[in-house]
Chain A
Amino acid sequence: MRIPLSWLREYVDLPATETGRDLQEKLVSSGLEVETVEQLGAGLKGPLVVGQVLTIEELEGFKKPIRFCTVDVGQANGTGEPQEIVCGARNFAVGDKVVVVLPGAVLPGDFAIAARKTYGRTSHGMICSGDELGMGDDGSGGIIVLPPEHEVGTDAIELLELVDEVLDIAVTANRGDCLSLRGVAREAAIAYGIPLRDPALLDVPGPNAHGYPVQISEPAGCDRFTARTVTGLSPEARSPIWLKRRLQKAGMRPISLAVDITNYVMLELGQPLHAYDRSLVQGTIGVRRAEQGEKFTTLDGAKRVLDAEDLVITDERGPIGLAGVMGGANTEIADHDAEAGTSDVVIEAAHFDPVSIARTARRHKLSSEASKRFERGVDPMAASAAAQRVVDLLVLLAGGTAEEGVTEVIAPSAPHTITLPADHPDKVAGVTYGRETVVRRLQQVGCDVYGQDNLTVTVPSWRPDLADPNDLAEEVIRLEGYENLPSTLPRPPAGRGLTGRQRLHRRVGRALAGAGYVEALNYPFISDETLAKLGIEKDDPRRTTVKLVNPLSDEEPALRTTLLPGLLEALRRNDGRGSHDLALFETGLVFRPTGDEPQAVRLPVDRRPTDEEIAELDAALPRQPRRAAVVLTGAREQAGWWGKGRPADWADAVEAARTIAREAGVELTVRGDQHAPWHPGRCAALSVVVDGEEILAGHAGELHPRVIKALHLPERSCAMEVDLDVLERAGTGAVQAPRISTFPVATQDVALVVDAAVPAAEVESALREGAGELLESLRLFDVFTGEQLGEGRKSLAYALRFRAGDRTLTVDEASAARDAAVSLAAERTGAVLRGA
């Protein structure tokens, strides 16, 4: 809402020295968000005067038509001689009154005016457009042509009210009353503790039987309808300058006198109004719900198909207005320039149900000045005053005659009252205001207050947002000043810190960053095509995605079922920007619907939902496990003066999973697997044991070459993804401390030859089991293939360390344990001791 300070001063006697910035500060502190204070005409300096065009000479031979004019500016130029001015505009004629800026003046934007040669003549000043004067759009599309009654030589800065301050207020959804000068003036009056001259306090004749007939068949949607008629409007009447200027400053475009007046009164009182051309309305005006599919053309020329919930204004033929939103083209007031100008009008000032208006405006994507106000709440008691104000202005400015008939259809309603303990605001604020202050503040807002310890408060008709005790508490607290609230701290019960899941999440992030991975937080929006490019088959559960009704991009309408698409995109982006050695990680939710989720139920809000109801709601949501993933490419270790580098490979990806598993205190079982998007020969399935049952936790390895090609990734890129929630469940709890033996260690190395296809993990597990309790540790230190082993064979060299807790092992004991290990490995995997 734009509030010109000069206009506001009509309703409150602000101190004369008070600036827009001063008022802004006061209003902000009491709760109106004044975003800016615009300084109109800042830097503007005359002479800027009314002139009359005496002669026009059309100059030929230029790219566009140019006029050389002489203009009478009276004594403003000091000589009384006609002023010679070159002008490019064409919307004026000899004899027109115009606005002339003379040399020596400065226009907004630091535009200094001086005599200058142009188009072969000397121009001593300019004939001005609204734009050049910073007035905003006046609809003329050229220079300003003034009404003829203004004298030449008159100061136009004052005449056009060019210097002013305009407060731009972002009105919150609950304060419909502040979408008017009246509402903002009331806030200003409270803020300064001075009286308000309420513009809605008008003498209004009571309703009678000769008013325009109105029939409301939908009182739930329209609880008040005032109709007044004004006849004999002069076709020549135009909006006076002051009216146009106020509309412009408030951000509206002047259109025609009757429309300008209804807009002016709406800005002043907050009551949206509509004027119908009476000659075009046939019979009784009605208010009803539209018929489903009913067709109607609004003022903006749009043909609309109505919904059965839309509220419409009708005459005998059908709809003539979309109630509270926009009038109809069929009863539009004709412009004064049109052949048959409107001479008689019916004025509507009605009150509509905010929810109904909001729905209609949204349904038809039609937000108007009227709907904006009705949605937020309009003072129903101001309707008849607003109609009266329009009547008065039409009589005054358009020479019309007010008909005696006054129609008022009103559905009975009681004012809203709230009861609350007098100390309720104190309890909400944590400040002792006392009853007296509370009552005074509520009265300032316009409430009627009765009672001692318990207050009965009747809220004013313009504040429908005041519905509950806390609403009243807020009024008191904001007017007493939020800035005066003290700073105190509550005492929460002693806390228990983060949960295990939260601590694991943090540890995983730290461990991966410690291992050289950089965290990337990627958007979860993906396309089905990307999943296909990852080689994920159509029947894979990862292809069942949550889809958005209104995605940001139609190309990415789904939510991720795996973290890899986002991470790989980040990998590609980094690579494209010249970072080629990359290790990235992400932790976050993935969304795994079954595709059979039911619609979420609509629960009431006036009580706690039952546990069953909550469970039913949750069943409508997809599973949302937390995952961790890494992607790698380029060098894992850089080459340098220390020696060679090492490219990132599948083993780094698997190791990243082990790093995470270590943080979770979980032993990871690694097996070869074939799983998209990984290379079928270089993919590890990672599983853990939860409650005695082995569960798949994720995969790691090198990406499939086809995936790398399809997603334009660097060759041999690797990836890992695990489910953190599964790892957390697999966690074994508190670590059990090992017993540390101080007896000497006995080391035995063995090299076992097996088929190349035998997984090292199987050999290792057989060795461990066979070696028994004396085995302290086992480490694979070499893998060898070569001719002497034979085709398809490999040699695995292990270092076994034996130790007992109670004695020094003899060589025989250690050897026996080793032999047992080897023989179990032989039995399980066909391993043969190398060289044996």
Chain B
Amino acid sequence: MSAPNKSYDPVEVEALKPEEIERMRDEALAAFAAADSLDALQEAKVAHTGGTSPLSLANREIGALPPHAKAEAGKRVGMARGAVSKAFAARQAELEAERDARVLVEEAVDVTLPYDRTPAGARHPLTTLSERIEDVFVAMGYEVAEGPEVEAEWFNFDALNIGPDHPARGMQDTFFVQGPKGRETESNVVLRTHTSPVQIRSMLDREPPVYVICPGRVYRSDELDATHTPVFMQVELLAVDEGLTMSDLKGTLDHMVQALFGEGMTTRLRPNFFPFTEPSAEMDMVCYVCRGESVGNPDRPCRTCSSEGWIELGGCGMVNPKVLTAAGIDPEKYSGFAFGFGIERMLMFRHNVEDMRDMVEGDVRFTRPFGMEI
């Protein structure tokens, strides 16, 4: 093995002189700094770090140095190249940021432009209100029961203890269905006047206990005006079980109005008369609008409750034992409670609807704002 060429001085190699390497580095840094676009930077990169760039060429010279000089020269060139590539990266990041900023500005749009390409649809608020009420009871364990709208009089009247001579069977309330020719008025079929026939059908279909909620369309021969409609939506409830009491009825009503209208709402029962319940009651709820604060307060009159503090909801009571008997349930063993109300009025005061006709005319301007649920 021959001894190293001690006499070889790296300084003698021109390209590896420290000042030379510093110059190459500075030129590269200056070129990067001068590059004003990513393309120019790319050119400068090729010129100053590419295979034929002065620093690359200098790097190749290192191999020719004697071992003791290699380390020092290598370190010097390495540091220079490191600085160059760092400077490139920094400048590239800078230029890219500039470009991005410019492009994103150019691509900016007016996000306030309206977009009504496909206008939204909506479900009718009576449908969604009915579902809302159903859900309150479904959550308690009730079933939703449905039935025919063209109904036999036995289901609509007789079974509900509304005998043949009850005034409600007269021509003023009920739509009667025509029978066959020659016996037009003897079909014994009507458009149901309430969803109570569904209660009867539910009791006939099931063994007690029976807990059902019966929503649906019902018919009364009133002319359409701002507060009446001949076709309306009713929700009725029936519970038949051992030991049910009128206090259970009251509690169930209280729960419903709280679920629908919020904490603190309550109901009031007033004695009334219905053939299908005994005892019977009229049910009121605290006025949703004024919460009773308009009572005796002429400065704050309430149109919704006429400053009575209460809104009439509908009728309720303990199922008349005769009704249970007709539906095949032993009234000695079981008792039941029931209530029913039209939901049009509830929609009116809950959502400030002024005219009942808006609910029946199908005007999209009325229905759209209600969306999918209420």
Tell me how far the C-beta of A367 lies from the nearest C-beta in chain B, rounded to whole angstroms. 10
- Chain A: which residue is nearest B267 at the CB level? A487
With contact pairs A430-B245, A607-B325, A617-B155 given, residues A490 and B272 touching in the complex (Cβ less than 8 Å): no
B251 touches A488 (CB 8 A): yes
Interchain CB contact under 8 A, B141 and A621: no
Residues of B contacting A603 in the complex (Cβ-Cβ under 8 angstroms): 154, 158-159
Residues B149-177 near A (CB distance < 8 A) = 149-155, 158-159, 161, 165-167, 170-171, 175-177
Contacts of B148 in A (CB 8 A): 589, 621, 624
Stretch at the interface among A203-211, A242-250, A512-520, A746-754: A512-520
- Alpha-carbon gap, A517 to B123, bound state (A): 8
Residues of A near B184 (CB, < 8 A) are: 549
User: Given A173-B273, A521-B126, A599-B187, does the pair A579, B326 have CB atoms closer than 8 Å?
Assistant: no
What is the minimal beta-carbon distance from A610 to any residue of chain B, in angstroms?
10
The answer to whether A620 and B189 touch across the interface, beta carbons within 8 angstroms, is: yes
Residue A729 at the B interface, CB < 8 A? no
- The reply to whether A523 and B271 form a contact with Cβ atoms under 8 Å apart is no
Minimum CB–CB distance for A508 against chain B, Å: 10
Check B263 for interface membership: any CB of A closer than 8 A. Answer: no
Contact with B along A617-640 (1 / 0, CB 8 A): 110111010000000000011101
In the complex, how many angstroms separate the beta carbon of A258 from the nearest chain B beta carbon? Answer: 31
For residue B221, which residues in chain A have a CB less than 8 angstroms away from its CB? Answer: 550, 552
User: B110-139 toward A: CB 8 Å interface, digit per residue (1/0)?
Assistant: 000111111111111011000100100010
Q: B268's closest neighbor in chain A, by CB?
A: A483
Shortest 3 CB-CB contacts between residues of A and residues of B:
A608-B328, A430-B245, A31-B271
Q: Is the CB of B248 within 8 A of A518?
A: no
Q: Which residue of B lies closest to A611 (CB)?
A: B204
Contacts of B167 in A (CB 8 A): 173, 358, 362, 375
Majority DSSP secondary structure for residues of A touching B: loop
Report A-chain residues with C-beta under 8 Å of the C-beta of B43. Answer: none
Contacts of A549 in B (CB 8 A): 175-178, 184-185
Interface SS of chain B: helix, strand, loop or mixed?
A: mixed
A94 to B326, CA, bound (A): 73
- CB neighbours (8 Å) of B223 from chain A are 552
Contact B362 A520 (CB under 8 A): yes
A499 to chain B, nearest CB (A): 7
Chain A residue numbers with a CB within 8 Å of B362 are 520-522, 567, 570, 573-574, 584
| A interface residues, Cβ below 8 angstroms from B | 28-31, 33, 172-175, 355, 358-359, 362, 375, 427-431, 468, 470-471, 473-474, 477-478, 482-483, 485-490, 492-499, 502, 506, 509-510, 512-524, 546-552, 559, 567, 570, 573-574, 577, 579, 581-585, 588-589, 591, 596-597, 599-603, 605-609, 614, 617-618, 620-622, 624, 636-638, 640-642, 645
A and B contact pairs by CB, cutoff 8 A, 25 listed: A358-B165, A482-B268, A482-B271, A487-B251, A489-B248, A490-B239, A490-B244, A492-B209, A502-B146, A513-B371, A516-B118, A520-B124, A521-B124, A521-B360, A547-B177, A548-B176, A574-B364, A589-B148, A603-B154, A605-B158, A605-B161, A605-B325, A609-B326, A624-B149, A641-B113
Q: 1/0 per position for B309-327, CB-CB distance to A under 8 A? A: 0000000001011100111
In the bound assembly, the distance between CA atoms of A591 and B254 in angstroms comes to 37
CA distance A600 to B180 in the complex (A): 11
A637–B246 touching, CB < 8 Å: no
- Asked whether B211 lies within 8 Å of A493 as measured between CB atoms, the reply is yes
CB–CB B127/A519 < 8 A: yes
Complex: how many Å from CA A617 to CA B159?
13
Of B72-80, B99-107, B275-283, B286-294, which stretch is located at the interface? B275-283
Does the CB pair B127–A548 fall under 8 Å?
no
Residue contact A489 to B252, C-beta cutoff 8 Å: yes
Shortest Cβ distance from A620 into chain B, in angstroms? 6
Say whether, besides A478-B279, A502-B144, A600-B189, A605 and B322 are in contact (CB < 8 Å).
Answer: yes
Complex: A521 Cα to B215 Cα, angstroms: 15
The answer to whether B127 touches A521 (Cβ under 8 A) is yes
**B269 and A482 contact, CB distance less than 8 A:** yes
In the bound complex, do residue B152 and residue A523 qualify as a contact, i.e. CB atoms below 8 Å apart? Answer: no
Asked whether, in the complex, the Cβ of A471 is within 8 Å of the Cβ of B270, the reply is no
B38 contacts the other chain (Cβ, under 8 Å)? no
Q: Which of B171, B217, B361 has the most CB of A within 10 A?
A: B361
What's the least CB distance linking B127 to chain A, in Å?
6
B211 near A428 with CB under 8 A, answer no
- Contacting residues, chain A, for B211 (C-beta < 8 A): 490, 492-493, 495
Contact between A621 and B150 (Cβ–Cβ < 8 Å)?
Answer: yes
Of chain A, the residue at the smallest CB distance from B230 is A552
Q: Note all chain B residues with C-beta closer than 8 A to A548.
A: 175-178, 191
Q: Which of B177, B272, B318 has the most CB of A within 10 A?
A: B177
B158 & A599 in contact (Cβ 8 Å cutoff): no
Contacts of A482 in B (CB 8 A): 268-271, 281
Minimum CB–CB distance from B147 to chain A (whole Å) comes to 9
- Which parts of B56-107 form the interface with A (CB within 8 Å)? none
What are the residues of chain B within 8 A of A362 when measuring CB–CB? 167, 170
Which of B191, B244, B245, B273 is the one whose CB lies under 8 Å from A172? B273
Minimum CB distance partner of A585 in chain B: B121
B47 at the interface (CB under 8 A from A): no
Per a CB cutoff under 8 Å, which of B113, B171, B279 touches A470?
B279
A512 to chain B: which residues have CB within 8 Å? Answer: 121
Asked if B119 and A638 sit within 8 Å, CB to CB, the answer is: yes
The residue that A605 contacts in the complex, of B119, B138, B326, with Cβ under 8 A, is B326
A contact residues around B241 at 8 Å (CB): 490, 492
Q: Decide if B272 touches A31 in the complex (CB within 8 Å).
A: yes
Q: 18 other contacts beyond A609-B154, A614-B204, with CB at 8 A cut-off? A: A31-B272, A33-B270, A173-B166, A173-B167, A489-B251, A495-B138, A510-B123, A516-B118, A548-B176, A574-B363, A599-B186, A600-B188, A603-B158, A609-B326, A620-B152, A621-B148, A622-B150, A638-B119
CB-based nearest A residue for B243: A427
B30 at interface, CB cutoff 8 A: no
Which residues between 203 and 258 of chain B lie within 8 Å of chain A, taking CB atoms?
Answer: 204, 209, 211, 217, 221, 223, 230-231, 239, 241, 243-248, 250-252, 254-255
Minimum CB–CB distance from B248 to chain A (whole Å) comes to: 5
B159 x A640 contact (CB < 8 A): no
Question: What is the minimal beta-carbon distance from B56 to any residue of chain A, in angstroms?
Answer: 43
Residues in A whose Cβ lies below 8 Å from that of B321 = 468, 470
Q: Would A487 and B154 count as touching, CB distance under 8 A?
A: no
Cα–Cα distance between A551 and B127 once the two chains are bound (Å) = 25
Asked whether A471 and B278 contact (CB < 8 A) given A520-B124, A573-B361, A621-B189, the answer is yes
Once bound together, how far apart are the Cα atoms of A468 and B155, in whole Å?
Answer: 23
CB nearest neighbor in A for B231: A523
Q: A583 touching B121 by the CB < 8 A rule?
A: yes
Residues of B near A523 (CB, < 8 A) are 230-231, 360
B175 near A492 with CB under 8 A, answer: no
Which residue from chain A places its CB closest to the CB of B266 in the assembled complex? A487
Please measure, in the bound complex, the distance between the C-alpha atom of A558 and the C-alpha atom of B127, giving whole angstroms.
Answer: 24
B183 within 8 A of A: yes
Q: Is the CB of A642 within 8 A of B115?
A: yes
Inter-chain contact B246/A428, CB cutoff 8 Å: yes
Residues of B contacting A355 in the complex (Cβ-Cβ under 8 angstroms): 165
B247 touches A431 (CB 8 A): yes
